[in-house]
C-alpha cells in the first residue's frame, strides 16, 4: 500500500486556513478585499465578540449568480485570473481563490448574493466546509456574507485567539487601512452594535484621513508627490517632524491600492526622514506607491500583505527622494542637493530663533555655573579644530545654519557645517597627547556599593550626566534615566496608594483617536486616570485631556498620549493588566523626567541622588539601561600605573 495520499479537500482547506485565517481581522480583510474587487461603493461591516461570534460584511458590488456563489467556495476557484500570464499582472486584490474556501472550512458561513440581471438572490450555507443548503432569497444587487463561530471545528486555533479587546483592535485597524486606500468607498463598521467607524465617500485621501483621524493630525501632514517614470509613482502624506511616534503603527503603505507591510517602503521613508528625526522615532505616513504590475510579485504570501519588488533599491530611492522633496517644500530641510550633507546635523526648526546651543558650551560645569574661562578655552579649541579641518576661519555654527536656509550652501559652507562636534574631534587635537579611554574600566554599579550620605555631586558633564564622588571613587549618573526611575516607582506605587496629583490644563487638549486607538483607549482609560490624567470622551472618537500629572510638562501631554496608545504593543493589549500598567508608567516617567542637556542646580542634583537611592532599583532604568557608572579608586590607580 502507498504511504502517500492526497489529502481530502476539506483538510487541505483547513491547512490553507492556517495561513490565510490567522485571526478574525484576517477574515475581515479577505471579505473587504472581495467587496472592493466586486466594485462596491458602500461597505457595511459588523462584528460581535471580537469577531468570534459574528462577522458580517455587506456590499453593493456586482454580486454572484447561483452557480458562482457555490463555486466561490471551491479551493482555487476565482474569477480574477485565468492563465499563468495573468498571475504576472494582477490588478485585483484577490487572485488566489482560496480565501472563501479557507474561511468556510473553519466557520459557519452564510452567503447572500444577487447580480443585477438575475431577479432572485441566492443564499448558500456552508459549515466547516460542508455545503448545507442552497436556496433562493431576496436581496438587492450585491453580497452579504455572515461568518459565525470562527474556528468552531478547530479547537486548537480557537485557543490561540486573543482577548476580545485585542481582536477588536486588529479589526478596527484593518478596516481603517482599507478605508484609507479607498476614499471613494463609504465604510461603516460596528462592534457589538457600537459604531466604530462611519465615513461617507470622500474626494481624496486627505479628506478621508480627516474623516478618520480628525483635524489635529491632518494639520501636521505634508503632501508627498513624486516618482520616476518606469519605477514608481509615490503619493500620500507624511507627518511634520513635530509629530513623534515611537512605533511604526501609524505608517500605512499601499502598493497599487493594496495594503502591505513592506520593508522597502519603510526603508525609503526612514531614509527620507533621516536628517530630521532622531533614531527610534517614526513619522506618521500614508504612502501610496503606484507601480507597473509587471514590476511586483504579489504572490509571495498567502495573506497577500507582502509583496516583492523587482527593483527594490530603485523603489526605495524614489520614495526617499519624494519624502525629502516633501520636507524641503514644507521648509523643513534646507535644500535637496545639500540634504545628504546635513545628515549628521540635528533638525533646527525654521521658525524658532534659539538655535541649538553652540557645542563649545557643553563642557564640564562645576556647581552648575560654568566658569567663563572654561567657555573661552573651549571656543578656542573648537575654532582650532575647525581651522584644522577646513583650512579657513569658520563661520559661527549658528549662522551657518541660518544662512543655509536662504541660499544654496556653497561647497565651503557645507564643509563648515559638517564639521564634527568638538567632542568627536577631541582625539584629533594635534597639540594634545591621546588620553587613555576609561571605556574598559568604568562599570555599571551594584546597589550594595551605594550610600546616599557618602555621595557628593560635583557637577555636570555636558549638562547630561552628574559627576559625583564617594569613598569608592568616581560616579557618573545619567540624570534623565535617574529621574525616570524615580518617577516610574512613584507611578507604580500609585496603583496601591492614592492617585497621583494632577494639574489642570489651561486649555484642555483634544485628541482625535483613530478607530484602533479608540479601542485601545477603552482598555487603559482607568489606568490613566489613576496616574493623574483627567480625561473626558467627547463626541465620537475625540478625547479631551483636562488635567495631567504634575510632573509632566503640559507640552509633552499630546505626544505622551500618542506614544502610550501606540506602544501598548499589539500583543500586549491581550496581556495581563499589570504589564500594561508598567508600560504606561514607563512612558509617563520617560516623558516627565528631566531631559539630558539640562542644567541642574546643586540642590537638584542632591535631590536626584537621594531619591534615586530609595527607589526599587537605583542602578537600572525601567527599560533596563544602567543609571550609574562607577570608576573605582582601584581602577583609577591601576589606570595611572600606581599599583
Ligand atoms: P479570490 O478573491 O482570490 O478570487 P476568494 O475565495 O476570495 O478568491 O473569492 C472567490 C470568488 O468569489 C472571487 O473570485 C469572486 O468572483 C467571488 N466573490 C467573492 N466575494 C465576492 C463579493 N463580495 N462580491 C462578488 N463576488 C465575490
Ligand atoms: Mg478574495
Which atom number of ligand 1 is nearest to the Cα of residue 102?
Answer: 6
Summarised one tens digit per residue, pLDDT across range 332-344 is 765 444 333 333 3
Walking along the chain (643 residues) 10 residues at a time, the average pLDDT comes out as 79 73 90 96 96 96 96 85 78 84 93 96 94 94 96 80 82 91 95 93 90 80 89 91 76 89 92 81 90 86 82 94 91 52 36 36 41 37 34 36 35 34 37 56 70 85 92 90 89 73 84 84 84 86 89 85 71 61 84 89 91 86 83 85 80
The length of the chain, given as a count of residues: 643
Site to probe by mutation for ligand 1, drawn from 28, 66, 67, 72 as the one with most ligand atoms within 8 Å of Cβ, is: 72
| CA 27 to centroid of ligand 1, rounded, Å | 13
626 forms beta bridges with 620
* Amino acid 577: pLDDT: 64
Measured at the alpha carbon of residue 245, what is the angle toward residues 529 and 231, in degrees to the nearest 5? 150
* Amino acid 576: pLDDT: 62
* Amino acid 399: pLDDT: 37
| CA 34 to centroid of ligand 1, rounded, Å | 5
Nearest CA to ligand 1 atom 16: 79
CB neighbourhood size of 588 (10 A):
28
* Amino acid 68: pLDDT: 94
Give the pocket of ligand 1 (CB within 6 Å): 30, 34-35, 38, 59, 61-64, 72, 77-80, 94-101, 143
* Amino acid 606: pLDDT: 92
Site to probe by mutation for ligand 1, drawn from 43, 73, 100 as the one with most ligand atoms within 8 Å of Cβ, is: 100
CA distance 174 to 28: 8
CA distance 392 to 180: 53
42 forms beta bridges with 186
* Amino acid 575: pLDDT: 59
* Amino acid 419: pLDDT: 32
Nearest CA to ligand 1 atom 13: 78
Between the CA of residue 74 and those of 5, 29, 71, 126, 127, what are the distances in Å?
20, 19, 5, 11, 13
Q: Annotate 228-255 with b (16+ C-beta within 10 A) or e (fewer).
A: eeebbbbbbbbbbbebbbbbbbbbbbbb
* Amino acid 445: pLDDT: 73
Nearest CA to ligand 1 atom 25: 63
* Amino acid 411: pLDDT: 41
Site to probe by mutation for ligand 1, drawn from 34, 39, 86 as the one with most ligand atoms within 8 Å of Cβ, is: 34
| CA 99 to centroid of ligand 1, rounded, Å | 8
* Amino acid 619: pLDDT: 84
* Amino acid 340: pLDDT: 38
* Amino acid 8: pLDDT: 80
Nearest CA to ligand 1 atom 2: 94
Q: Annotate 303-320 with b (16+ C-beta within 10 A) or e (fewer).
A: ebbebebebbebbbbbbb
Contacts of 63-66 with CB under 8 Å at 24 or more apart are 63/38, 63/113, 63/114, 63/115, 63/116, 63/121, 63/141, 63/142, 63/143, 64/113, 64/115, 64/122, 64/143, 65/115, 65/118, 65/122, 66/118, 66/122, 66/134
| CA 299 to centroid of ligand 1, rounded, Å | 17
Site to probe by mutation for ligand 1, drawn from 13, 20, 37, 139 as the one with most ligand atoms within 8 Å of Cβ, is: 37
224 forms beta bridges with 236
Between the CA of residue 436 and those of 429, 440, 445, 636, 640, what are the distances in Å?
14, 10, 21, 11, 10
pTM over the 0.75 mark: no
| CA 309 to centroid of ligand 2, rounded, Å | 22
CB neighbourhood size of 591 (10 A):
23
Helices 602-613 and 479-493 pack at an angle, to 10 degrees, of 50
Task: For residue 537, give the nearest of 514, 507, 513, 561 by alpha carbon.
Answer: 513
CB neighbourhood size of 150 (10 A):
26
Amino acid at each position: 500500500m502507498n504511504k502517500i495520499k492526497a489529502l481530502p479537500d476539506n483538510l487541505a482547506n483547513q491547512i490553507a486556513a492556517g495561513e490565510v485565517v490567522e485571526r478574525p481581522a484576517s477574515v475581515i480583510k479577505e471579505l473587504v478585499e472581495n467587496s472592493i474587487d466586486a466594485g462596491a461603493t458602500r461597505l457595511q461591516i459588523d462584528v460581535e465578540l471580537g469577531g468570534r461570534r459574528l462577522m458580517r460584511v455587506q456590499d453593493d458590488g456586482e454580486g454572484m449568480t447561483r452557480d458562482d456563489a457555490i463555486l466561490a467556495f471551491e479551493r482555487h476557484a476565482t474569477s480574477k485570473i485565468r492563465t499563468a500570464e495573468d498571475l504576472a499582472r494582477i490588478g485585483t486584490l484577490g487572485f488566489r481563490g482560496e480565501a472563501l474556501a479557507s474561511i468556510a472550512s473553519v466557520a459557519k458561513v452564510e452567503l447572500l448574493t444577487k447580480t443585477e440581471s438575475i431577479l432572485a438572490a441566492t443564499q448558500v450555507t456552508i459549515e466547516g466546509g460542508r455545503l448545507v443548503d442552497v436556496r433562493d432569497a431576496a436581496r438587492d444587487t450585491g453580497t452579504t456574507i455572515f461568518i459565525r463561530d470562527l474556528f468552531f471545528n478547530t479547537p486548537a486555533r480557537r485557543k490561540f485567539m486573543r482577548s476580545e479587546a485585542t481582536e477588536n483592535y486588529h479589526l478596527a485597524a484593518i478596516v481603517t487601512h482599507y478605508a484609507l486606500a479607498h476614499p471613494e468607498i463609504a465604510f461603516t463598521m460596528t462592534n457589538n452594535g457600537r459604531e466604530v467607524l462611519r465615513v461617507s465617500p470622500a474626494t481624496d485621501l486627505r479628506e478621508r484621513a480627516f474623516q478618520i483621524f480628525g483635524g489635529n493630525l491632518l494639520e501636521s501632514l505634508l503632501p508627498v508627490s513624486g516618482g520616476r517614470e518606469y519605477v514608481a509613482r509615490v503619493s500620500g502624506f507624511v507627518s511634520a517632524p513635530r509629530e513623534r511616534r515611537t512605533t511604526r503603527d501609524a505608517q500605512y503603505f499601499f502598493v497599487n491600492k493594496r495594503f502591505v507591510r513592506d520593508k522597502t517602503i519603510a526603508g525609503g521613508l526612514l531614509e527620507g526622514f533621516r536628517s530630521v528625526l532622531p533614531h527610534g522615532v517614526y513619522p506618521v505616513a500614508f504612502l501610496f506607491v503606484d507601480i507597473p504590475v509587471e514590476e511586483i510579485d504579489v504572490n509571495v504570501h498567502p495573506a497577500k500583505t507582502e509583496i516583492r519588488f523587482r527593483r527594490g533599491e530603485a523603489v526605495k530611492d524614489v520614495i526617499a527622494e519624494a519624502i525629502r522633496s516633501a520636507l524641503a517644500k514644507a521648509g523643513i530641510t534646507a535644500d535637496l542637493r545639500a540634504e545628504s550633507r546635513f545628515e549628521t546635523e540635528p533638525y533646527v526648526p525654521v521658525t524658532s530663533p534659539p538655535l541649538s546651543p553652540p557645542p563649545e558650551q557643553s563642557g564640564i560645569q562645576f556647581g552648575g555655573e560654568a566658569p567663563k574661562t572654561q567657555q573661552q578655552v573651549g571656543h578656542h579649541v573648537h575654532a582650532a579644530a575647525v581651522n584644522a579641518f577646513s583650512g579657513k576661519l569658520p563661520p559661527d555654527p549658528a549662522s551657518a545654519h541660518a544662512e543655509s536656509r536662504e541660499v544654496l550652501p556653497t561647497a565651503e559652507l557645507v564643509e563648515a557645517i559638517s564639521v564634527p562636534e568638538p567632542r568627536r574631534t577631541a582625539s584629533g587635537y594635534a597639540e594634545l597627547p591621546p588620553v587613555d579611554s576609561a571605556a574598559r574600566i568604568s562599570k555599571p554599579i551594584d546597589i550594595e556599593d551605594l550610600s546616599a550620605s557618602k555621595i557628593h555631586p560635583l557637577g555636570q558633564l555636558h549638562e547630561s550626566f552628574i559627576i559625583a564622588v564617594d569613598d569608592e571613587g568616581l560616579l557618573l549618573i545619567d540624570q534623565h534615566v535617574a529621574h525616570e526611575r524615580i518617577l516610574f516607582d512613584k507611578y507604580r506605587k500609585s496603583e496601591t496608594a492614592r492617585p497621583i496629583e494632577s494639574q489642570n490644563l489651561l486649555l484642555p487638549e483634544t485628541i482625535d483617536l483613530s478607530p484602533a486607538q479608540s479601542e485601545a483607549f477603552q482598555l487603559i482609560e482607568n489606568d490613566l486616570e489613576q496616574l493623574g490624567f483627567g480625561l473626558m470622551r467627547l463626541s465620537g472618537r475625540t478625547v479631551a485631556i483636562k488635567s495631567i500629572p504634575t510632573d509632566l510638562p503640559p507640552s509633552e501631554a499630546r505626544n505622551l498620549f500618542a506614544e502610550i496608545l501606540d506602544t501598548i504593543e499589539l500583543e500586549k493589549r491581550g496581556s495581563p493588566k499589570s504589564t500594561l500598567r508598567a508600560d504606561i508608567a514607563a512612558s509617563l516617567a520617560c516623558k516627565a523626567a528631566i531631559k539630558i542637556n539640562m542644567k541642574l542646580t546643586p540642590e537638584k542634583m542632591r535631590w536626584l541622588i537621594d531619591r534615586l537611592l530609595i527607589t526599587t532599583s537605583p542602578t537600572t532604568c525601567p527599560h533596563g539601561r544602567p543609571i550609574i557608572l562607577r570608576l573605582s579608586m582601584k581602577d583609577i590607580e591601576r589606570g595611572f600605573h600606581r599599583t
